[in-house]
Amino acid sequence: MDIAQSILSIHKELPPGVKLVAVSKFHPLEAIEEAMGAGQTVFGENRPQEFEQKARALAGRGVEWHFIGHLQTNKLKMVLPYASLVQSVDSVHLLDAINDWGKKNGKVIPVLLELHVAAEDTKQGFYEEEILDILFRAASYSNVRFCGLMGMATNTDDTEDIRADFGRIKALWDYLADLFPELTDWKELSIGMSGDWRIALEYGATIVRIGTAIFGERQYLRLRLPA
């Protein structure tokens, strides 16, 4: 199945209102353009330099860019001018830096807070109590718009473990929506990737992040901007 067919097939399974983020990291512009030809407009990248290069190369083409990887504060200028949503805010240090950048540049940055639930210690993210503390202080982040949660399930073939992880993220998302009704943009739950997105839909995902199931294995190509 080629890229366009994969895009069309996934869209047929997605309920109304669920956004597909095609994770195009390590894939060339030609692959993104093929996906665009099938009607895909939202793409996700996780490396700042690659994100910036692709965003600049496809400027004016109607692409909505999501940043989905760990973001260092010294790379904000590569991401924030182009990102429609930063899905992977995983520390107070990063959140503060994003807010400061927004103040300096007259921009409000939509973000998701990344919840750490997976068994792997290598995964990034906040614990529940840390997210609570942030949202109790949400008014102090005048240049950030809190739009919801992002999370990744444990990398396992055990679907019960995956369901437990997604259930925990969804439970917190619901709790926070009730606790902070003033957060009127709190609408997004980004869970589910190529191997588990169908399960994520059962737990209320509003965004799924799918790469390999669309583009195949990563190609690790070095990008070059047009002269």
- Residue 77, pLDDT > 60, answer yes
181-189: long-range contacts, CB 8 A cutoff, minimum separation 24: 182/138, 183/135, 183/138, 183/146, 185/110, 185/145, 185/146, 185/147, 186/146, 186/147, 186/148, 187/147, 187/148, 188/85, 188/112, 188/147, 188/148, 188/149, 189/148, 189/149
Q: What is the pLDDT of residue 226?
A: 47
Over residues 176-189, mean pLDDT: 98
**Cα–Cα distance for residue pair 181/145, rounded to 1 Å:** 14
Average pLDDT over residues 2-9: 95
Report pLDDT digits (tens) over 133-173.
999 999 999 999 999 999 999 989 999 999 999 999 999 99
What integer pLDDT is reported at residue 217 of this predicted model?
Answer: 78
**Would the pLDDT of 227 be above 60?**
no
Calculate the average pLDDT of the chain.
94
What would the pLDDT profile of 27-63 be if each residue is shown by its tens digit? 999 999 999 999 999 999 999 999 999 999 999 999 9
| Confidence class for position 82, pLDDT limits 50, 70, 90 | very high
Q: For 3-11+18-215, which CATH superfamily applies?
A: Alanine racemase (3.20.20.10)
Q: Is the pLDDT of residue 222 over 60?
A: no
The pLDDT confidence band at residue 1, using thresholds 50, 70 and 90, is: low
Q: Are 51 and 45 in contact (CB under 8 A)?
A: yes
Q: Which two tokens stand for residue 189?
A: 């739950």
Mean per-residue pLDDT, 21-27: 95
Q: Where are the domains of the chain?
A: 3-11+18-215
* 182: three-class secondary structure by DSSP: coil
What gap in Å lies between CA 157 and CA 178, rounded to an integer? 33
**Which pLDDT belongs to residue 203?**
98
**pLDDT classification of 124: cutoffs 50, 70, 90:** confident
